[in-house]
Amino acid sequence: MPNHTVLSVSQLNRYIKSLFEQNLQLKDVFIRGEISNFKGQYASGHFYFTLKDKDASVKAVMFRNYASHVRFTPENGMTVLVRGEVGVYDRDGVYQIYCREMQPDGIGDLSLAFEQLKKKLSEEGLFDSAHKKPIPPFPQVIGIITAKTGAALQDMLNILRRRYPSVVVLIRSVLVQGEKSAADLCAAVRQMDELGLCDLLIIGRGGGSLEDLWSFNDEALAREIFRCRTPIISAVGHEVDFTICDFVADLRAPTPSAAAELAVPDKKDLQFQLFSYERQMAQKIESRIQVLETQFGRHKRIHDSLSMRLSALQTKLEGYQNHQALRSPYYTVEQAQARIEEQAARLNALIPVRLEREEARLGKAAGILDSLSPFKVMARGFSVVTMKGKTISSAGQIKAGDRVTIRLTDGTVPAQILQGGKESE
In the prediction, which pLDDT does 263 show?
Answer: 95
Residue that is last in its domain, among 106, 124, 155: 106
**Cα–Cα dist 102/86, whole Å:** 15
Classify the phi-psi angles of 196: left when phi > 0, otherwise alpha if psi is within -120 to 50, otherwise beta.
Answer: left
Instruction: Enter the pTM of the model.
Output: 0.52
pLDDT averaged per 10 residues, the chain (length 425): 74 84 86 86 83 89 89 84 89 90 76 84 93 94 93 93 94 92 95 95 89 90 96 91 92 94 91 86 87 83 84 79 64 77 82 83 79 67 79 79 80 79 50
DSSP-derived 3-state class of residue 64: helix
In the prediction, which pLDDT does 133 show?
Answer: 95
In the prediction, which pLDDT does 249 show?
Answer: 96
**Cα–Cα dist 170/195, whole Å:** 11
**Cα–Cα dist 21/356, whole Å:** 172
In the prediction, which pLDDT does 424 show?
Answer: 46
In a domain, residue 345? The reply is no
Number of domains in the chain: 3
Q: What angle do CA 36, 91, 79 make, to 5 degrees?
A: 15
**Cα–Cα dist 49/36, whole Å:** 6
**Cα–Cα dist 399/377, whole Å:** 26
Statement to judge: residues 243 and 158 lie in one domain: yes
**Residue 260's CATH number:** 3.40.50.2300
In the prediction, which pLDDT does 425 show?
Answer: 44
Statement to judge: residues 86 and 187 lie in one domain: no
Helix pair 219-227, 109-124: axis angle to 10 deg: 30
Statement to judge: residues 249 and 156 lie in one domain: yes
Element (H, E) at 329: none
Residue that is last in its domain, among 265, 293, 312: 265
- Which residues touch 405 (CB under 8 Å, ≥6 apart)? 385, 386, 387, 412, 413, 414, 415
In a domain, residue 111? The reply is no
Residue that is last in its domain, among 82, 106, 130: 106
**Cα–Cα dist 110/71, whole Å:** 6
In a domain, residue 280? The reply is no
Element (H, E) at 59: strand 57-62
**Cα–Cα dist 297/303, whole Å:** 10
Statement to judge: residues 172 and 247 lie in one domain: yes
In the prediction, which pLDDT does 357 show?
Answer: 84
Statement to judge: residues 82 and 180 lie in one domain: no
Contact predicate 45/66, CB 8 Å: no
Statement to judge: residues 101 and 144 lie in one domain: no
Tell which residue, 32, 33, 64, has the closest CA to residue 48. 64
Statement to judge: residues 70 and 170 lie in one domain: no
Statement to judge: residues 96 and 164 lie in one domain: no
In a domain, residue 90? The reply is yes
In the prediction, which pLDDT does 100 show?
Answer: 92
Statement to judge: residues 101 and 157 lie in one domain: no
In a domain, residue 393? The reply is yes
In the prediction, which pLDDT does 379 show?
Answer: 67
Instruction: Tell me the pairing of strands 141-146 and 200-205.
Output: parallel
Statement to judge: residues 150 and 35 lie in one domain: no
In a domain, residue 248? The reply is yes
The CA-to-CA distance between both ends of the chain, in Å, stands at: 194
| 29, β-bridge pairs | 84
Residue type, position 172, single letter: R
In a domain, residue 390? The reply is yes
Residue spans of alpha helices (H) in 208-266: 219-227, 244-248, 256-263
Statement to judge: residues 146 and 202 lie in one domain: yes
Name the burial class of residue 55, with classes exposed (0-12), middle (13-18) and buried (19+) by CB atoms within 10 angstroms of its CB: exposed
- Please tell me what DSSP assigns to residue 394: S
Statement to judge: residues 93 and 205 lie in one domain: no
**Residue 95's CATH number:** 2.40.50.140
In a domain, residue 272? The reply is no
Q: In terms of residue numbers, what domain contains 90?
A: 9-106
Sign for the pseudo-dihedral over CA of 156, 162, 164, 166: positive
Tell which residue, 297, 199, 176, has the closest CA to residue 245. 176
